[in-house]
Amino acid sequence: MSSPDQSLSLRLSMSRALARIGLRASGVIVALVAWQVVCELGLANLDLVPSPIDVARAFVDLASSGVLFEDAAHTVGATLMGWGIAAVAGVVVGAVLGVSHVARAYASPAVDLFRTFPPIAFVPVALVAVGLSVRLEIVVIVAGCVWPILIGTTDGVRGISAEKHDLARVLRLGRLARIRKIVLPAALGGVMVGLRVGMGLALVLAVTAEMIGNPSGIGYAIVRAGESLHPDRLYAYIVTVGILGVALNVAVVALSERLVPQPRRRQ
């Protein structure tokens, strides 16, 4: 008796899922079609703006020759290393600032000043200090993406409600148990926001550092494509950065959902 019901509800939920994917992709599809139409009608200078189909062709060429994967692997490697170092530093320092109002009083003016420095400005300094290597990228990435992680962690720890502290006292939890079982998990939401924002920044900073500093990865590939007058390849690389950004974001979100079950998450 329940099986027709089940198959019906399965079909319903599948068609709903497809409709949802279609809805979400519709913006991208409309933009691509409009772009193609503009190119077909000759409304834009084709030397500078390739059509989506040209870009797709260049993407397939680069992918099948393996160049794309090499470049992407380098950029993703640098992104993850820089983000990882920033994550450890940001969470540790952020947690200390969140717990201790004395530390916060001394350090937050410095944090507010340092985080306004453009990370790319460190390229010349890093160039002298570490030379043309992936380490230059890492310096730039850490200098940029440590701040959202640090601030997210500090706010996460500070934002724990007074009721949670009361709860820990009423349940007679020891200091260690309080930090491990209440403070850290309660702050995880803020930490995860910092890590997500940081991941987005890390990828952008990696590409930028490759464009003006260390000549490798996707950033340098974009420069090469531009200089050799291959706008289709240039856009193929930009699209690749977009795909990587989405994939890395999905990975961090998946991690955060594993660690923090979300109350009343919607769809």
Partner 1 sequence: MLRSVTTMTQDDRASQDGIGPARHATVYECREVSVVYRTHRDEAHTVLDGVTFDCQSGEVLTFVGPSGVGKTTLLRLLSGLIKPTSGSVCFEGEPVRRTPQGVVLVFQDYASALLSWRTVGRNVALPLEGRMSKREIDKRVDDALSQVNLGDWKNEYPWRLSGGMQQRVQIARALASDAQVLLMDEPFASIDAITRAKLQDLLLEVRRRTGLTVIYITHDIDEAIYLSDRVFVLSGRPASMQEEVEIDVPTPRSQVETRELPEFLDARRRLHAALRAEYSSEGAGQAP
Q: Give the residues lining the site for partner 1 (CB under 8 A).
A: 161, 163-164, 166-167, 169-173, 177, 181-182, 185-186, 188, 260-261, 263-264
Residue 5 Cβ vs partner 1, minimum distance, rounded to whole Å: 22
Pick between residue 103 and residue 260 the one whose CB is nearest to partner 1. Answer: 260
Residue 152 Cβ vs partner 1, minimum distance, rounded to whole Å: 17
Residue 191 Cβ vs partner 1, minimum distance, rounded to whole Å: 13
Residue 205 Cβ vs partner 1, minimum distance, rounded to whole Å: 31
Residue 192 Cβ vs partner 1, minimum distance, rounded to whole Å: 12
Pick between residue 28 and residue 171 the one whose CB is nearest to partner 1. Answer: 171
**Short-list 25, 149, 166, CA closest to 87:** 149
